Amino acid sequence: QQQVKQSPQSLIVQKGGISIINCAYENTAFDYFPWYQQFPGKGPALLIAIRPDVSEKKEGRFTISFNKSAKQFSLHIMDSQPGDSATYFCAAPDRGSTLGRLYFGRGTQLTVWP
Amino acid sequence: DAGVIQSPRHEVTEMGQEVTLRCKPISGHDYLFWYRQTMMRGLELLIYFNNNVPIDDSGMPEDRFSAKMPNASFSTLKIQPSEPRDSAVYFCASNFMKTTGELFFGEGSRLTVL
């Protein structure tokens, strides 16, 4: 079973600061690493995803950095805003599984102070 | 598209009672997943279906839990008898295999067993 280890468990950042969340995974034969964002009372929703043929992917203020040799990937939120306050989950697919079957990290609760 | 629809949104019941949670996936999606979210264990995959057929139910905690998908537009997760430790938010998610693997989650069913 895929294990995905996420840190930190919680993060407090001032408005305008950089939020960094890290994830490590074990061996995998698959090639898709997403981050999900969850607001209170809602289901998780895909935020950004990366495939390991690139080391970085940027979408607006959100960037994934991927280190295949270290089996690690991280989410960077630049110019963090109060509206970014949510729980963030990294995920990775189970080895040899179909697309869509994901195992999630334990989550990071991000609070951005105004 | 209406997204993944779950019902009920909230359920409060007494120990020993039967609980049935319902899910309508996004039309055209061929995979359906049931997840459970708790503070202690995070997001856990319980079971998933492909084309209405259960593929892996190894995450179902015990025989008190059962899930069915009688057709492409409906699935149920049943707990009988329910116990206080079943209290959690249960999410249904769906996706289409040939896409990037993005999971589309419903808003969840919050279950409280007294």
Which of B31, B33, B102 minimises the CB distance to A46? B102
What is the full DSSP assignment across B53-92? EEEE-TT--STTEEEEEEETTEEEEEESS--GGG-EEEEE
A107: three-class secondary structure by DSSP: coil
pLDDT confidence tier of residue B1, bands split at 50, 70 and 90: low
Phi and psi angles of residue A78, each rounded to the nearest 5 degrees, phi first: -85, 150
- What is chain A's pLDDT, residue by residue, as a tens digit (114 residues)? 557 899 999 999 999 999 999 999 886 666 788 999 999 999 999 999 988 788 999 999 999 999 888 889 999 999 999 999 999 999 987 655 555 578 899 999 999 999
pLDDT cut 70: percent of chain B above it = 95
- A27 CB neighbour count, 10 Å cutoff: 8
Closest Cα to residue A4, out of A106, A76, A86? A106
* Nearest-angstrom CA–CA distance, A71 and A4: 10
Domains of chain A: 4-113 (2.60.40.10)
Selected for mutation to probe chain A from B34, B43, B95 (highest A CB count within 10 Å) is B43
Positive or negative torsion for Cα A2, A38, B34, A96:
negative
Is residue B109 less than 8 Å (CB to CB) from chain A?
A: no
- Say whether A44 and B102 touch across the interface (CB within 8 A): no
Is residue A13 less than 8 Å (CB to CB) from chain B?
A: no
* Nearest-angstrom CA–CA distance, B113 and B85: 8
Q: Which residues pair with A46 in a beta bridge?
A: A36
Chain B nearest-CA distance from A99, in A, is 5
- Say whether A101 and B33 touch across the interface (CB within 8 A): yes
Cα separation of the two ends of chain B: 36
Is the pLDDT assigned to residue B62 strictly greater than 90?
no
C-alpha angle B41/B46/B47, rounded to 5°? 160
Is residue A104 less than 8 Å (CB to CB) from chain B?
A: yes
- Say whether B45 and A101 touch across the interface (CB within 8 A): yes
